[in-house]
Amino acid sequence: MNKCIMSVDDSPTIRSSISFCLENAGYDVIDAVDGQDATEKLEKIRADGQNLSLIITDINMPKMDGLTFIKKVKESDFRFIPILVLTTEGDSAMIKKGKEAGAAGWLVKPFQPEQLLWAIKRLIWLK
């Protein structure tokens, strides 16, 4: 069975490029448009008893930003799922905040597919 990854980003272009990259590498992808949408989708994943291997999230998003979303995940049944941040934010203070919130990895956009896949593999193995 394919490993399933949730991808959270408010940009349709980024969502489709992440999905394209991950699906080509044999992962199943569940998309969400912001932290709130992602939280609702996690509820559904939990209710369905579906397995999730990793969450990739943006930081700057409407409704619920990435930092708030990461904190919510870390307080939920999904707290052991590794979270990879993929964002335009490369500022060290912001990265520190993200790591403190519970992010396991941090990639700055634009991403190279190989770089993203490598980061994902590393986080899934480490887990």
Q: Please report, as ranges, the residues that interact with Mg ion according to CB under 5 A.
A: 10, 58, 60-61
* Smallest distance from Mg ion to CB 88, Å: 7
For residue 2, give the 3-state DSSP assignment. Answer: coil
CB of 50 to Mg ion, least distance (A): 25
Nearer to Mg ion, 37 or 124 (CB): 37
Cβ 55 vs Cβ 82: under 8 Å: yes
Cis peptide before 110 (omega within 30 of 0): yes
CB nearer to Mg ion: pick between 10 and 18? 10
Residue with tokens 């190279």: 112
C-alpha–C-alpha distance, residues 124 and 127, integer Å:
5
Indicate the residue among 21 and 85 with the shorter CB distance to Mg ion.
85
CA 31 to chain centre: 9
Exposed, middle or buried: residue 64 (CB in 10 Å: 0-12, 13-18, 19+)?
middle
The least CB distance from residue 49 to Mg ion, in Å, is: 30
Q: Minimum CB separation from Mg ion for residue 110, in Å?
A: 13
Cβ-based nearer residue to Mg ion, 12 or 44? 12
